[in-house]
């Protein structure tokens, strides 16, 4: 064991904790969920896995777009937690179902999960105010679904990298 092994292990643990925090914050509809997940993703990418720069840049731009959109949304929408559990939970499920197939299907599964979670919530008595199908529903689904999809897909990509790295050893 070299002296860098404990450091790499510590970095990996901190990055995994950041990504778990990102998932938890997604369920709480916090605008910094994607930043926490991306920080963990970046740490794993730069210290453990060493991928090409393309996925790091792609998910970094996606995270920046999500954070910018969260600031541009009206306060009553960005602070609302209505249906976020359904949307984030279904996004998480769709991500891992897609991850069982491939990385591309992970993204498709996350998007499908967010849509189905939004529809499921709109069918509950509390979700009747979403007026499915309407532009109000679509706007709210995009406002809450995009951050969930990007955050959970960032975590899914990191899990894919770590699984590939540690399954070789």
Q: Is the peptide bond before 133 cis (omega within 30 degrees of 0)?
A: yes
Sequence-distant (≥ 6) Cβ neighbours of residue 2 within 8 angstroms: none
Q: What is the pLDDT of residue 74?
A: 84
- Measured between alpha carbons, how far is residue 53 from residues 18, 78, 118 in Å? 21, 31, 33
- Name the packing angle between helices 33-44 and 4-27 (round to 10°): 160
Collect the ranges in the chain with pLDDT lower than 50. Answer: 1-3
Sign of the alpha-carbon torsion through 140, 144, 147, 149: negative
For residue 91 the two structure tokens come to 């996004």
HSE-up of 48 (CA within 13 Å, CB side)? 27
Cβ pair 132, 123 in contact under 8 A: yes
pLDDT at site 1: 42
d(CA 12, CA 47): 8
Helical axes 53-72 vs 135-168, angle rounded to 10°: 150
Do the beta carbons of residue 60 and residue 38 sit within 8 Å?
Answer: yes
pLDDT given at position 91: 95
Residue boundaries of the structural domains of the chain = 4-168
**CA 154 to CA 39: how far, in whole Å?**
10
């Amino acid at each position: 064991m070299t002296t860098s092994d404990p450091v790499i292990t510590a970095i990996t643990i901190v990055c995994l904790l950041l990504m778990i925090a990102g998932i938890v914050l997604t369920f709480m509809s916090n605008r910094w969920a994607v930043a926490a997940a991306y920080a963990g993703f970046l740490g794993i990418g730069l210290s453990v896995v060493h991928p090409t720069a393309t996925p790091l840049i792609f998910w970094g731009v996606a995270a920046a777009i999500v954070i910018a959109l969260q600031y541009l949304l009206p306060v009553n929408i960005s602070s609302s937690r209505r249906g976020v559990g359904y949307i984030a939970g279904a996004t998480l499920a769709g991500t891992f179902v897609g991850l069982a197939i491939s990385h591309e299907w992970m993204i498709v599964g996350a998007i499908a999960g967010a849509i189905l979670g939004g529809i499921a919530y709109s069918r509950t008595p509390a979700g009747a105010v979403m007026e499915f199908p309407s532009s109000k529903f679509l706007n709210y689904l995009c406002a809450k679904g995009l951050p969930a999809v990007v955050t959970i897909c960032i975590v899914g990509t990191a899990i894919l990298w770590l699984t590939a790295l540690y399954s070789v050893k």
